[in-house]
Chains A and B, each alone.
Chain A
C-alpha cells in the first residue's frame, strides 16, 4: 500500500474487542471472530499440553530398552492418545482456528467472517468432541494407534474406541464448518480493491486448506461410522471373518488423513510467507507461483493417499501410480522453499523472533520434505515403512514445520491480538532452545528407523539404546523450550509494554487498525489500491518503529 487512502489509527485505543464487554457470557456467547479465536487458543493449548505430557511419558519409557516403566497396554494407550490429541485437537484446528479466525477478516478488510454464529458453533463442536475424547482418556483411553486400523480396532480391542471415534467425528464437523466459513468469507467479503492477486499469501494458504477441510473430512467421518457399525452391530465392513475387507478401511482412512497433513502445513506456510515478507521488507519472490502452489498442493494432495499403503497388500502397480504422484506433490512445496529463500536476497532483514521461527521452519521443513520424498520412493519405503524413520519424517514437518509456523505467527501477531509486547530476549532464547531441543529429539530417529527400529514398540533390542537416550534427552530440552513462551506470553498480557498499531512496520490491512482492534475491526471501511507487500523506503532516521503507510 504505497499511499494508503485509509486513515491512520490512534496510537493506543481506549476501547477495543477485549474490553468492550466483560463476563463469562460475553465470551461464551460471542459472535466476534477475534474472541472465538482466543477461545480456540485456550482449548488448543490445553490439548497441546496433554498431548505433550503423553510424549514426555513415551520418551521416558523409551530411554531404556526394556518396557520397565509402563505395562505394554498402558504404553499403547499413551502413543495412541498422543497421536489423537495432537492431530485432531491441536494441529488440525491449530493455525486456522486461532490465527485464521482472528486475522482473515482483518486481512481482507471485513467486519467478521461470513457466518459468525457458525463460527461459534465450530468452537462448541470442537470442545464437545474434545470432551468426549478426554472422557475416554480418563476411562482408560484407546490403544489402537491413532490410525485405528481394522480389524484390530473393530474386533480385537475392548477399549474406548467408540467414544474417541465419536469425539473425532464431532470435531470433524468443527473443521468442515471452519473451512466452509473461510471459503465463503474469502470469496464474498473482500474490501473494495482487494482482488484475488492482492490477497496476502496467508489468506491463499487458508483458502487452500479450507478446500481440503470440506472435501476430505466427510470421508473420514463415514469411515468412523463404519467402524462403529462393525464394533456395535458386527456388520462386516472390514473384518474378513464377517465378510469384509480390512484394506478398504485403509483406503477410506488415508483418503482423508493424507490431505489432512496438508491441512496442518498449508496454514503454516501461509504464516511463513507473511513473516519472510515482513522481516525482509519486500514482496515475496514469485507471489503468484506461491499462491498457485498452495492450490496445487491441495489438489494433488488428494491423489496420493496410497503411499501409506505401499506394503499393505495393494497391487504394486497401484504403488507405482501413487509413488509418481507423490513425487509431483513435492514440487510446489520445493518451489515455495526456493521462493522464500530468494525473497531474502537483497532484502532488508531483521532478526526479530518471528523471523527466527520462519528461518527454522525453512530449514526443518526442507529436511522433513526431502525425507518425505524418500518415503515416496517405493524401494526405500518398503524398508522404512512403520519404523522410526516415518516418525522422524512427520515430526520434522509437524513440529519443525507446523508448530514453528504457529509459534512464529503467535509471536508476530501477539501485539495485534493482545495489544502487548513480550520480552524480546526470552522469546529469542526460547526459539533457540526449541530449535536445538527439536533436532536432538528427532534427528536420531531417522537413524533408528533405517536401522530397523519399528514404531509403536514398547521395548526394543539393546543396540538401539544410545540413539533413544539422545532422543529422550532432546525431548526434555524441547519441553522446556515450549514452557517458556507459555510463561512470558501470560506475563506480557499484564506487564508487557503496550504495542502500537504497526510495531513491525509491516504491510497488510491488519496493521492499519489499532492494537488490539476495535470490535468492528476498522474505524473506517478500508480500501485497497496496491499489490501486497508494497514497501516505501523511509529516510535513515534515529530509533523508533518505521511508519510505513
Chain B
C-alpha cells in the first residue's frame, strides 16, 4: 500500500530508503488486518451470544447447510492460499512467469469459492431460509433460527465481499505480474496483498466450523 502500483516501483519521495518503504508497507498492512479482526469480531461476539442462548435453533439451522460444499470450499480456499504464497515467492525470486501463473491460480480458486457460495445462497433462497418477510423454517424455534441465518448471511456475506474485492484486485495484478513489476528489490504490493488474502482465508477457517459443524460429531 505504498508505491505506484503498476510498472517499475519507484521510491516514494517521502521515504529515505527502499527498506523504510518496505517496512512501512508491511506494518501498514498488518495494522489494517488487525482492524479487520475487530471488524469481524463484533459479529463473532453476537454469534457466540445467540448460539449459547438458543442452542437448539442454531443446531437445527446449521444442519440445513450443506457440509460437503462447505468442506470443499475450505479446501479450495486453503489451496488458493498456497498459490498466493507461491506467487509472492515468485516475486521474491524474480520469476515473473511463476508470479503470473500463481496469481492466476489464486484468482481461479477464489472464483470457484465464490461460485460455490452463490450456489449455496441460491439454495437458501429456494428453501426460504433468507431472513426477511418470506422467511420460513420447518424446525423448532423458527424466530431464533432466523437469527442464525441472519448471522450466517452477515458473516459469510462480509467474508464474500472481502473475497470479491480481493478477486478484483487479483485481476488487475495479472498484467503487471507478467511484465515483471514485482522484483526482489520491491514487491511490497504483492506481499501486502498476499497478507490480505491469507487473512481472508483465515477468517473462513473460523467461519466454517462455527457455522457448518454445530453438533455434527455423531
Are A219 and B38 neighbours in the complex by a CB distance under 8 Å? Answer: yes
Identity of the chain B residue whose Cβ is nearest the Cβ of A242 in the assembled complex: B143
Given that A188-B20, A219-B41, A244-B147 are contacting pairs, would A116 and B35 also be in contact in the complex, using a CB cutoff of 8 Å?
no
Q: Which residues of B in the span 1-39 have a Cβ within 8 Å of any Cβ on A?
A: 1-2, 13-16, 20, 23-24, 27-28, 31-32, 34-36, 38-39
Docked complex Cα distance between A238 and B146 (Å): 13
Stretch at the interface among A179-187, A471-479, A538-546: A179-187
**Chain A CB within 8 A of B86 CB:** no
**Chain B CB within 8 A of A223 CB:** yes
**What A residues does B38 contact at CB under 8 A?**
214-219
A interface, by DSSP: helix, strand, loop or mixed? helix
Identity of the chain A residue whose Cβ is nearest the Cβ of B37 in the assembled complex: A218
Question: Which of the residues A112, A183, A223, A234 comes within 8 Å of B14, measured between beta carbons?
Answer: A112
**Chain B CB within 8 A of A245 CB:** yes
Query: Given contacts A113-B14, A222-B40, A236-B147, could you give 20 more A-B pairs where the C-beta distance is less than 8 Å?
Result: A111-B13, A114-B14, A116-B14, A185-B24, A187-B27, A189-B14, A189-B24, A214-B35, A218-B36, A219-B41, A221-B42, A222-B42, A226-B42, A233-B150, A234-B131, A235-B150, A237-B150, A244-B147, A245-B49, A245-B53
Are A215 and B34 neighbours in the complex by a CB distance under 8 Å? Answer: yes
**Chain A CB within 8 A of B46 CB:** yes
Identity of the chain A residue whose Cβ is nearest the Cβ of B149 in the assembled complex: A235
Identity of the chain A residue whose Cβ is nearest the Cβ of B38 in the assembled complex: A218
**Chain B CB within 8 A of A152 CB:** no
Are A115 and B35 neighbours in the complex by a CB distance under 8 Å? Answer: no
Least CB distance from B212 to A in Å reads 20
Given that A118-B1, A188-B23, A219-B41 are contacting pairs, would A214 and B34 also be in contact in the complex, using a CB cutoff of 8 Å?
yes
**Chain B CB within 8 A of A461 CB:** no
Docked complex Cα distance between A380 and B41 (Å): 33
22 contacts between A and B (CB under 8 A): A113-B14, A115-B2, A115-B24, A180-B31, A180-B35, A214-B34, A218-B39, A218-B42, A219-B38, A219-B39, A219-B42, A222-B42, A235-B132, A237-B46, A242-B146, A243-B143, A245-B49, A245-B50, A245-B53, A248-B46, A251-B45, A525-B16
Docked complex Cα distance between A388 and B112 (Å): 58
**Chain B CB within 8 A of A41 CB:** no
Are A184 and B35 neighbours in the complex by a CB distance under 8 Å? Answer: no
**Chain A CB within 8 A of B43 CB:** yes
**What B residues does A251 contact at CB under 8 A?**
45
**Chain B CB within 8 A of A229 CB:** yes
Instruction: Classify chain A's interface size.
Output: 35 or more
Interface size on B, residues (CB 8 A): 36
**Chain B CB within 8 A of A252 CB:** yes
**What B residues does A111 contact at CB under 8 A?**
13-14
Docked complex Cα distance between A244 and B150 (Å): 11
Docked complex Cα distance between A110 and B20 (Å): 12
- Interface bits A97-131 vs B (CB < 8 Å: 1, else 0): 00000000000001111111010000000000000
Least CB distance from B122 to A in Å reads 18
Least CB distance from B157 to A in Å reads 10
Are A183 and B31 neighbours in the complex by a CB distance under 8 Å? Answer: yes
Least CB distance from A255 to B in Å reads 8
**Chain A CB within 8 A of B215 CB:** no
Docked complex Cα distance between A183 and B143 (Å): 44
Are A221 and B39 neighbours in the complex by a CB distance under 8 Å? Answer: yes
**Chain A CB within 8 A of B129 CB:** no
Determine which residue in A214, A237, A242 has the highest number of CB atoms from chain B within 10 A of its CB, and name it. A237
Identity of the chain B residue whose Cβ is nearest the Cβ of A230 in the assembled complex: B150
Given that A112-B14, A244-B147 are contacting pairs, would A252 and B24 also be in contact in the complex, using a CB cutoff of 8 Å?
no
**Chain B CB within 8 A of A166 CB:** no
Given that A215-B38, A223-B42, A233-B132 are contacting pairs, would A188 and B24 also be in contact in the complex, using a CB cutoff of 8 Å?
yes
Are A188 and B27 neighbours in the complex by a CB distance under 8 Å? Answer: yes
Are B154 and A229 neighbours in the complex by a CB distance under 8 Å? Answer: yes
Identity of the chain A residue whose Cβ is nearest the Cβ of B130 in the assembled complex: A233
**Chain B CB within 8 A of A295 CB:** no
Least CB distance from B164 to A in Å reads 17
Least CB distance from B50 to A in Å reads 8
- Interface bits A239-258 vs B (CB < 8 Å: 1, else 0): 00011110010011000000
Are A222 and B27 neighbours in the complex by a CB distance under 8 Å? Answer: no
